[in-house]
Amino acid sequence: MFEIKFSLSTQTKPNPMKSKLLHIPLLALLFSYLFTERSVGINLIAFHSAALAFIVYHKPERQWSRHQILLFSSSVLLLLFSFLHYSTWAMAWSWIALGTTAIVFQSNEVRQIALSTLSAFTGAFITPIQFISKITKRVFHGTPRKASAFLYVIPVLAIGVFSLLYAQANPDIDKAFRLVTGHFFESIAQFFSNFFSPSFWMTLLGVVIGSILLYGKFLSAYRHTNQIKNDDLKRERNPYPGSVDVLKTYYKSAVYTVGSLIVVLSGFLFFEIRDVWINFEWNGGELKYFVHSGTYILIFSIIISALLILVFFNNRLNFYPDNKLRRLSYIWLILNGVLAASVIVRTMHYIDNFALAYLRIGVIFFILACFAGLYSVYLKIKQRKSFNYLLHFNSISVLVVVLVISSVNWDRVITQYNFNHSKKAFVHLRYLSEMSDKTLPLLVRNADELEELKTTQEQLSHLDTRSSYYITKEDYQLRIEQRIERFNQKWESKSFWEWNLPEYLAYHELNRK
């Protein structure tokens, strides 16, 4: 009796592989239903909630690692920010975070966030093939391929051939055969007519997404990076003759290079602090070269500087007894930190004179990430850490920056700031007129406000506002009125699944006036 009960219990135990094969089509159908010919709204929350539930359900271990808690929490936060702010940035990163979470949840050993994200992207090409392969194995389970041809293909051909022969011999059978085959070919034609329908392609995309979420695996070539012991470098001695002399030469070259670059960068920072930090004055120009070209060059130089230090401090040079290179590297990193601060100063000058814009805000957050990167390089040198540690440290830094950016409704911040500072900074009306629909109540300005704005702007700068790059206050008003009309029509035609909070509030505020 005991053996019978044990046998029954093992047979009824759910097979996770079978449930995955079932859950992927469910996710695909849900994705197609929610997003086919619909804009993003509540459907994003519904699909992500279902996807996260499946990810947690298929988690192999009972306990959660710190990285799994971090990624799951980040996915939920990004979903919340997408709902609160209806931000393209937050929504895009919510999909990336969902795929990364799925990879991290495959094992408690996975701890590299950046490589998990890369695994999710590469999984878009691999996992659908694996899903189809799993289904094929289930269908033909225990059947040789040659036998399966006889079991499925040969009977169909035989039935067709003999039905055709019998139809030729009897008029009544021929009539019935034509009736059946007619419906068959109509079904085939209907299938191919629906083949290019939006719902079919959305279902196919849902299969790809579901495969990534449930079959995605961490890149096998980088699995060793998940081991905590790889954070600390291990000294490796070179047994070949003359290796010590080569190392000394390499060390002297590194000291000379870093020392020379410190002198060059110190000279540049002297003029940068004098001209940008202390003596900067706006003469009414556009500041394009000052910010655009100069800032991008400085950011590129900071990245190259950090990479240069990483090249010098390879495995053996980290254990060199002389600390001169180490001290010079610290000075070099500090000077690059000052250079990064100078980029922020340049950007703040631009904001003070030309108000806020997405890229100006993005530059500031990027420089904050650069500060974290420079600090991680400092820790790598001081504590003899591996590249694995750098990747792990900076992945978390980038994730924090993404969450901070997503937590703010920047469209609203930019619009309010630019109009509130119109007496101190140039307001680009064309740029503001292209803000998202959720800011429309803030963009509505009466003729007196726009006339006062025009007078102030003309006194503030010497820019030629007659070019097509700028628009008049009349054009601005007309654009906003047309956008409000289109927005009202679009909002009133939205379905329940397309509902979102910011546009809902904007619609009611516009129609309350």
Give the model's confidence band at 168: pLDDT under 50 very low, under 70 low, under 90 confident, else very high.
low
Compute the distance between CA of residue 452 and CA of residue 457 in angstroms, rounded to an integer.
9
Residue 239 pLDDT > 90: no
CA nearest to 102, candidates 227, 215, 219, 24:
215
For the segment 194-230, what is each residue's pLDDT rounded down to a tens digit?
666 788 889 889 999 999 999 888 887 676 666 555 6
Looking at every residue in the chain, the average pLDDT score rounds to 83
Asked if 214 and 54 count as a contact pair (C-beta separation under 8 A), the reply is yes
Asked if 363 and 295 count as a contact pair (C-beta separation under 8 A), the reply is yes
Q: For the ranges 1-10, 72-81, 246-255, 301-310, which has the lowest average pLDDT?
A: 1-10
What local confidence, expressed as pLDDT, does residue 58 receive?
92
Q: Buried b / exposed e across 136-170, counting CB within 10 Å, b at 16+?
A: eeeeeeeeeeeeeeeeeeeeeeeeeeebeeebeee
CA angle, 27 then 31 then 35, to 5°: 175
Residue 513 pLDDT > 90: no
Residue 134 pLDDT > 80: no
CA angle, 404 then 409 then 414, to 5°: 110
Residue 270 pLDDT > 90: yes
Compute the distance between CA of residue 344 and CA of residue 347 in angstroms, rounded to an integer.
5
What local confidence, expressed as pLDDT, does residue 302 receive?
86
Residue 22 pLDDT > 80: yes
* The token pair that represents 198 in the structure block: 């939006």
CA angle, 420 then 421 then 422, to 5°: 95
Q: Averaged over 273-286, what is the pLDDT?
A: 78
Give the model's confidence band at 3: pLDDT under 50 very low, under 70 low, under 90 confident, else very high.
very low
For the segment 39-71, what is each residue's pLDDT rounded down to a tens digit?
999 999 999 999 999 999 999 888 999 999 999
